Structure 1
């Protein structure tokens, strides 16, 4: 593999990629709405998935015409999901094996989550995997949340790698859009959204058992080579 076309960093989303939390988020939102005698609609999941806390709650407030502040509802929602994390949190099948293989290959690893820092710290601590990541970024540490590219561009800058040499692993359309807006290669896992919803990714797979380090390296190499060929024309 040419020196200028190699994988230098893998950036993982957290919810639905590292941890099996999307059903827990839906449960927290059901509880939040039930307290207000409102019914949760499963269709909301696709719209909200991958958004940071303030944007997701802002959408809920607008959708249900709630007369409450975003900050108050964010705090309540975070308390509900934290309780569910403590009781039910588990990793996504095969995800940690992939993280460990990337880490063992001395390729930089980053976690870039739309969730707030307190929840990211809670989740990684519960699974005892904080040390697997060279960098951990949360949604409240960047100016704009996904689908803006800020969190992935910040991760590349802090890791000291070019955006072209990064590969992002995502499960949500907003996350895929963020990765592509950052100019990065993106592998999507269709565990939370459908394959058509994730079609903007460079590759979509159904589960981590279809993914290994060689696939990640090949995706980045081929994408860089295509880009270089286009520039020469």
Structure 2
């Protein structure tokens, strides 16, 4: 158990506050299948935490004749197909955001998703109005694992990165947080614990994090 003082909290979105990863994996898998492109579980897992356009740019050779933008639009369109995995809040996430807001802690989300997508999910969770800042894929030049998004959040919240705590569920996100100089709490909702080894603390879900006077976070880690 650890007690972590903080002046700001920053959250990833997919897999950290809302459990979209099963659906996202189906979407990316269908894209590869639709084009007869080879893939395996590790390749699909490599999309986690990163901007889809950047991953697709790395894999463009598998989709001859198609632009990265076309492929991304196609993958996103699968979200509305019948039978897709259900999406719901990560246990403890909404409650933690509300507790931090009640304690007067500045709050931000840094996501690899596009703004309309991120704003919709935050509205569905009922926490958008509690956030001071939302940094999306279109707000940065380089996505995770680059720290640009987290550094932008610290700058705009006017808090030194070393006095902020960030929550991430994917290796690319953990790397971005650590490169920004923030304390990282890994959330093992979508990845095995070992994949989050670079985080300062790892929890099964956000029910294992409590807000204490100070303010500080009490983390009951794995």
- Name the TM-score class by shorter chain: 0.7 to 0.9
Matched, 1:156 2:154: yes
Task: Specify whether residues 19 and 157 from structure 1 end up closer, same or farther in structure 2 by C-alpha distance, changes over 3 A only.
Answer: same
2:28 counterpart residue number: 29
Deviation at 1:98, TM superposition (A): 0.7
Over residues 167-211 of structure 1, what are the superposed CA-to-partner deviations in whole Å (9 max), with x where a residue is unaligned? 000001110100010011000011111222111111111122211
Contact 1:21 1:89 in 2 (8 A): yes
Contact 2:11 2:108 in 1 (8 A): yes
Q: TM-score, normalised by structure 1?
A: 0.83
The structure richer in helix per residue is: 1
Count, aligned residues: 214
Contact 2:14 2:111 in 1 (8 A): yes
The structure richer in strand per residue is: 2
Q: Which runs of 5+ in 1 are unaligned?
A: 221-233
Mapped partners of 2:80, 2:198: distance in 1: 32
2:49 counterpart residue number: 50
1:74 counterpart residue number: 72
SS of alignment partner, residue 167 of structure 1: strand
Contact 1:82 1:119 in 2 (8 A): no
SS of alignment partner, residue 178 of structure 1: helix
Mapped partners of 1:127, 1:217: distance in 2: 24
Mapped partners of 1:177, 1:87: distance in 2: 28
Task: Within 5 Å, give how 1:4-19 maps onto structure 2.
Answer: 6-19=5-18
Task: Within 5 Å, give how 1:78-227 maps onto structure 2.
Answer: 78-81=76-79, 88-214=86-212, 217=216
Aligned-residue RMSD, C-alpha? 2.4
Task: Specify whether residues 156 and 173 from structure 1 end up closer, same or farther in structure 2 by C-alpha distance, changes over 3 A only.
Answer: same
Higher alpha-carbon deviation: 128-137 or 10-19: 128-137
Over residues 78-132 of structure 1, what are the superposed CA-to-partner deviations in whole Å (9 max), with x where a residue is unaligned? 2323668x98331111111111111110001100001111211221223332112
Mapped partners of 1:80, 1:127: distance in 2: 22
Q: Which runs of 5+ in 2 are unaligned?
A: none
